[in-house]
C-alpha cells in the first residue's frame, strides 16, 4: 500500500505541473486562482506544523517536539540556513529527552 | 559582448540553489526513513514527486499515523501551486513533446523564481530555468539518498530528535511565505483549526480541513479588493 501511495502521490503532483502547460494562459488572469495558489501552502504548512508538533494520534501533547520547534523559531529569527534550523530542532528535542525533561 | 555572457553568473547561482536544496534533502531523506518509508520509497518521491513541501508533508503525515489517503491528498493540495507556476512558465517553453514533459517535472518554486527573476532576454530566462532545474534535481536526489541511508544506519528516530525535525522543516518552508498580516492570519487560523480538530477527527484530516481556511480567506479577500 505504501508503494501505491508513493506512486499515486507522485503522479498527481506531476499532472498538476503538466496541467499548467496544457491549460490556456488566461486562467492565470483570474486573480482568485493566483490568490488560492498563494494561500493554500500557507494554510496547509501552518496546520502541518501545528499537528506535527502537538498531536500524538488524536491526543494533544506538549513534549520534546515543542522545545524543538522553539529552537527552530529562534534559528529562523537569526536567519539561519534551512539545515541549521532543522538540526537545531532535532538536537534540542534529543537533548530535552536525554535530560528527562519531557518525553 | 557574446550573446551567451549571461550563462556563467546564472550557472553559478543555479549551483548555489542546488547546494542549498541538497542540504535540506538530507533532512528530508532522514525524516522519510524515520517515518516508516523504505530508502527506495523515500528516494522515489524525490525522483518522481520532486516538490519539497509535498514530500515533507507526505512523510510527516504517514509518520504520525495520518493514513495514506490523507497523506496523498495533502501532497496534491500542496502541489497545486505548481500548476500556477507552470502556467506562468508556459510561454517560455513553447516546445512540445519530450522537452515540455521534462520542463513540467522541473517546474517548482526554485526554477520558477529563477526564470521570473531573469526575464530578459528570453534565452536567459530559459537558461535560468533549466540550469536551476537540473542542479536542484540532481542535488536534491543525492541529498535524499545520503539522508535516507544515514538515518537507516543510525536507528532510533526519537533519540535523534528526528520527529522534531519534521515540524521544523515545515516551518522553514512556511516562514518565507509569511510576508504580510493576512498571511500570518491565515497561518494562525489554520494552525488553530487543525489543533482544535485533532481530538475529534482521525489523524491527517485536521490538516485537510485547514485547506478550507485558504478558500474562505480567498473569498474574503476577493470581496475586499475586487
Q: Is the dihedral of CA B182, B186, B188, B192 positive or negative?
A: positive
Q: What integer is the mean pLDDT of B213-219? A: 94
pLDDT at B160: 78
The residue that leads in pLDDT, B94 or A11, is: A11
Please write the tens of the pLDDT for every residue from B117-166: 988 888 999 999 999 999 999 999 999 999 999 998 887 777 778 889 98
Give the DSSP letter string of chain A: -HHHHHHHHHHHHHHHHHHHHHS-GGGGG-HHHHHHHHHHHHHHHHHHHHHHHHEETTEE---HHHHHHHHHHHHHHTT--HHHHHHHHHHHHHHHHHTTS--
Please write the tens of the pLDDT for every residue from B94-114: 767 889 999 999 999 999 999
Average pLDDT, whole number, for chain A?
93
Per the CB < 8 A criterion, the answer to whether B62 and B95 are in contact is: no
B214 CB neighbours in chain A (<8 A) are 36, 39-40, 42-44
Of B31-35, B111-115, B156-160, B207-211, the poorest mean pLDDT is in: B156-160
**Is pLDDT at B1 greater than 70 in this prediction?**
no
Per the CB < 8 A criterion, the answer to whether A58 and B154 are in contact is: no
| Residue among B92, B102, B112, B129 nearest B14 (CA) | B129
Q: What integer is the mean pLDDT of B166-176? A: 92
pLDDT at B225: 56
Q: Which of A7, A17, A73 to mutate to test binding with chain B, by most B CBs within 10 Å of its CB? A: A17
Q: Is the dihedral of CA B197, B200, B203, B205 positive or negative?
A: negative
pLDDT at B15: 92
Task: Give the CA-trace dihedral at B197, B203, B206, B211, to 10 degrees.
Answer: 180
Query: Which ipTM did the prediction report?
Result: 0.93
From the number of C-beta atoms within 10 Å of its C-beta (0-12, 13-18, 19+), residue B181 rates as exposed
A36 CB neighbours in chain B (<8 A) are 80, 214-215, 218
d(CA A37, CA A34): 5
pLDDT at B2: 57
Q: Which of B24, B45, B87 to mutate to test binding with chain A, by most A CBs within 10 Å of its CB? A: B87
The residue that leads in pLDDT, A92 or A81, is: A92
Pairwise CB contact (< 8 Å): B82 & A16: yes
Share of chain B above pLDDT 70, in %: 97
d(CA A12, CA B51): 12
Q: Is the dihedral of CA B6, B12, B17, B22 positive or negative?
A: positive
The residue that leads in pLDDT, B94 or B187, is: B187
CB atoms within 10 A of CB B14: 23
pLDDT at A66: 97
**Which range scores top for mean pLDDT: A22-31, B152-161, B188-197?**
B188-197
Average pLDDT, whole number, for chain B?
91
Per the CB < 8 A criterion, the answer to whether A98 and A64 are in contact is: no
**Is pLDDT at A54 greater than 90 in this prediction?**
yes
C-alpha cell at B144: 535524499
**Is pLDDT at B29 greater than 90 in this prediction?**
yes
Per the CB < 8 A criterion, the answer to whether A28 and B87 are in contact is: yes
B70 CB neighbours in chain A (<8 A) are none
**Is pLDDT at B226 greater than 70 in this prediction?**
no
Chain B nearest-CA distance from A62, in A, is 12
The residue that leads in pLDDT, A55 or A30, is: A55
Pairwise CB contact (< 8 Å): A47 & B206: yes
- In angstroms, how far is the first alpha carbon of chain B from the final one? 46
From the number of C-beta atoms within 10 Å of its C-beta (0-12, 13-18, 19+), residue B52 rates as buried
The residue that leads in pLDDT, B119 or B63, is: B63
Amino acid at each position: 500500500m505504501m508503494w501505491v501511495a508513493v506512486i499515486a502521490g507522485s503522479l498527481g503532483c506531476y499532472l498538476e505541473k503538466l496541467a499548467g502547460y496544457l491549460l490556456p494562459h488566461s486562467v492565470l488572469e483570474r486573480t482568485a486562482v493566483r490568490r488560492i495558489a498563494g494561500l493554500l501552502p500557507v494554510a496547509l504548512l501552518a496546520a502541518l506544523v501545528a499537528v506535527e508538533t502537538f498531536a500524538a494520534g488524536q491526543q494533544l501533547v506538549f513534549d520534546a517536539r515543542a522545545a524543538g520547534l522553539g529552537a527552530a523559531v529562534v534559528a529562523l529569527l537569526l536567519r539561519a540556513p534551512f539545515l541549521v534550523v532543522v538540526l537545531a530542532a532535532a538536537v534540542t528535542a534529543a537533548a530535552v529527552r536525554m535530560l528527562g525533561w519531557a518525553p | 559582448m557574446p550573446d551567451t555572457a549571461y550563462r556563467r553568473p546564472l550557472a553559478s547561482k543555479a549551483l548555489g540553489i542546488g547546494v542549498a536544496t541538497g542540504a535540506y534533502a538530507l533532512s528530508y531523506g532522514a525524516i522519510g526513513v524515520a517515518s516508516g518509508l523504505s530508502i527506495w520509497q523515500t528516494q522515489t518521491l524525490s525522483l518522481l514527486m520532486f516538490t519539497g513541501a509535498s514530500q515533507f508533508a507526505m512523510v510527516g503525515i504517514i509518520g504520525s499515523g495520518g493514513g495514506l489517503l490523507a497523506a496523498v491528498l495533502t501532497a496534491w493540495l500542496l502541489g497545486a501551486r505548481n500548476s500556477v507556476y507552470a502556467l506562468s512558465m508556459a510561454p517560455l517553453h513553447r516546445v512540445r513533446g519530450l522537452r515540455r514533459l521534462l520542463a513540467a517535472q522541473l517546474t517548482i518554486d526554485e526554477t520558477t523564481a529563477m526564470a521570473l527573476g531573469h526575464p530578459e532576454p528570453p534565452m536567459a530566462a530559459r537558461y535560468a530555468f533549466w540550469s536551476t532545474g537540473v542542479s536542484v534535481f540532481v542535488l536534491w536526489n543525492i541529498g535524499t539518498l545520503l539522508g535516507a541511508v544515514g538515518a537507516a544506519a543510525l536507528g532510533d528516530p526519537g533519540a535523534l530528535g528526528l520527529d522534531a525535525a519534521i515540524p521544523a522543516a515545515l516551518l522553514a518552508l512556511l516562514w518565507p511565505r509569511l510576508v504580510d498580516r493576512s498571511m500570518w492570519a491565515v497561518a494562525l487560523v489554520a494552525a488553530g483549526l487543525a489543533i482544535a480538530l485533532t481530538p475529534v477527527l482521525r489523524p491527517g484530516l485536521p490538516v485537510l480541513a485547514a485547506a478550507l481556511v485558504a478558500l474562505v480567506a480567498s473569498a474574503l479577500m476577493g470581496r475586499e479588493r475586487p
